[in-house]
């Protein structure tokens, strides 16, 4: 089993409100980039539902140099309607879904720390500071501590 110590949050870099799915991202990654599968382990749709991507037991293809010990999570959106300008487009449902997923992952992989893709790249992805926003999850060790 892989030793997971990072949860890396991404955006799909699609326009605000543009509804895409796992199959679309998988098509981009497999047919346009030549990868074996979608690069992310989880994708969060506009309605906040969490969908499986790449098998969690297999290293992702989402963050150069960080894939072996991480889980990649992508929310749909991340760009203004102009298709270029980075923007935190998460719906309230996506924010809730992402928080719940990260809490579940932290419970399963207690050494995991939340990062944004931008922590390892010059990109703005995921268009918000995931490291800071989810620091409370990263700092939680599950030892008779209550999340606030």
Is 40 a residue of the active site?
Answer: yes
- Choose the catalytic residue: 51, 87, 95, 123: 123
- Choose the catalytic residue: 6, 109, 125, 134: 125
**What are the residues whose beta carbons fall under 8 Å from the beta carbon of 80, sequence distance 6 or more?**
15, 16, 86, 87, 89
- Choose the catalytic residue: 40, 45, 109, 134: 40
Is 62 a residue of the active site?
Answer: no
On whether the CB atoms of residues 62 and 40 are closer than 8 A, the answer is: yes
- Choose the catalytic residue: 6, 10, 62, 106: 10
| Cα gap 68→46, rounded to integer Å | 28
3-state percent breakdown (helix, strand, coil) of the chain, nearest 5? 25, 20, 55
On whether the CB atoms of residues 126 and 10 are closer than 8 A, the answer is: yes
CA distance to 15, 20, 68, 81, 135, per residue, from 88 (Å): 11, 17, 27, 12, 18
Is 115 a residue of the active site?
Answer: no
Residues designated catalytic: 10, 40, 117, 123, 125
């Amino acid at each position: 089993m892989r030793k997971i110590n990072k949860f890396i949050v991404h955006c799909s870099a699609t326009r605000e409100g543009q509804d895409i799915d796992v199959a679309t991202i998988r098509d981009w990654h497999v047919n346009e980039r030549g990868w074996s599968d979608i690069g992310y382990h989880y994708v969060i749709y506009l309605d906040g539902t969490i969908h499986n991507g790449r098998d969690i037991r297999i290293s992702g293809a989402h963050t150069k140099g960080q894939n072996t010990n991480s889980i990649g999570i992508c929310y749909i959106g991340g760009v203004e309607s102009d298709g270029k300008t980075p923007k935190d487009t998460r719906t309230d449902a996506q924010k809730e879904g992402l928080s719940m997923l990260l809490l579940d992952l932290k419970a399963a992989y207690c050494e995991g720390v939340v990062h944004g893709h931008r922590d390892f790249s010059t990109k703005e992805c995921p268009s918000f500071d995931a490291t800071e926003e989810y620091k409370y999850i990263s700092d939680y060790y599950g030892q008779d501590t209550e999340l606030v």
